[in-house]
Amino acid sequence: MSKCFHFIGLALGVLSVGHLPMGARAQGSASVLYTVVVPAGEFGSVNFTRQLVSSLASAKVFCGGIDKSAYRVDCLAERLQVVSDTIPEGSDYDEVRQVLNETSADLARLARTNRDTSLPSAPASRRTDSADRTTRALTPVSSAAQAEVGRQAIAILEEAQTQLLRSAEGSNSRSIQYAQISQAIDSTKVLLRS
């Protein structure tokens, strides 16, 4: 018996970021329905893993496009939550969902703890597509704390990678897919080094 999951997402340029709830439509944007079938007895779906990796790459591009580096840690937190929310509960990717949720919460907490009170909390959007915007206002990190916060955020992302890779031990197909997701998380660390 196979599991079948349906998703509706925004088609935004080359990469898609975020999703719409079932039946929702954004004005002026195209919706794309895609189906992922997870064969019984096998781990996950190569196509769904590709979608997760693509969503993480989109998060990196989106947050990298923010002019003020003060917002990047919380942007990454928000985008990881958006990616996590696209993972259906009760699937082979529950552990990925949990790791992304915890990582998102840790990054958001780090930003709030080091908030720059001289800058406003504000939503972010891509200049090329106003439909591609954060789901909440982002918290800026003070300039004095940015270097240390960047190091701590990198440590949080590395912990997420470690958790994923450890949880995949013993399963070749899970190990390959989790390694791809882990690598996509690793690529986001470049945003925190500037």
Domain chopping of the chain, boundaries = 43-192
Q: Are 41 and 107 in contact (CB under 8 A)?
A: no
Q: What is the pLDDT of residue 128?
A: 55
Pairwise pLDDT comparison (194 vs 24), residue with the higher score: 194
Q: What is the pLDDT of residue 170?
A: 78
Point out the least confidently predicted range of 29-43, 82-96, 159-173, 177-191.
29-43
Instruction: Say yes or no to pLDDT of 85 above 50.
Output: yes
Pairwise pLDDT comparison (77 vs 67), residue with the higher score: 77
**CA 192 to CA 194: how far, in whole Å?**
6
Which band of pLDDT confidence, cut at 50, 70 and 90, is reported for residue 92? confident
Other C-beta atoms closer than 10 Å to the C-beta of 118 total: 9
> How far, in Å, are 109, 131, 152 from residue 155 at the CA level?
14, 32, 5
Other C-beta atoms closer than 10 Å to the C-beta of 183 total: 12
Average model confidence (pLDDT) for the chain?
A: 80
* Mean pLDDT calculated for residue range 13-26: 35
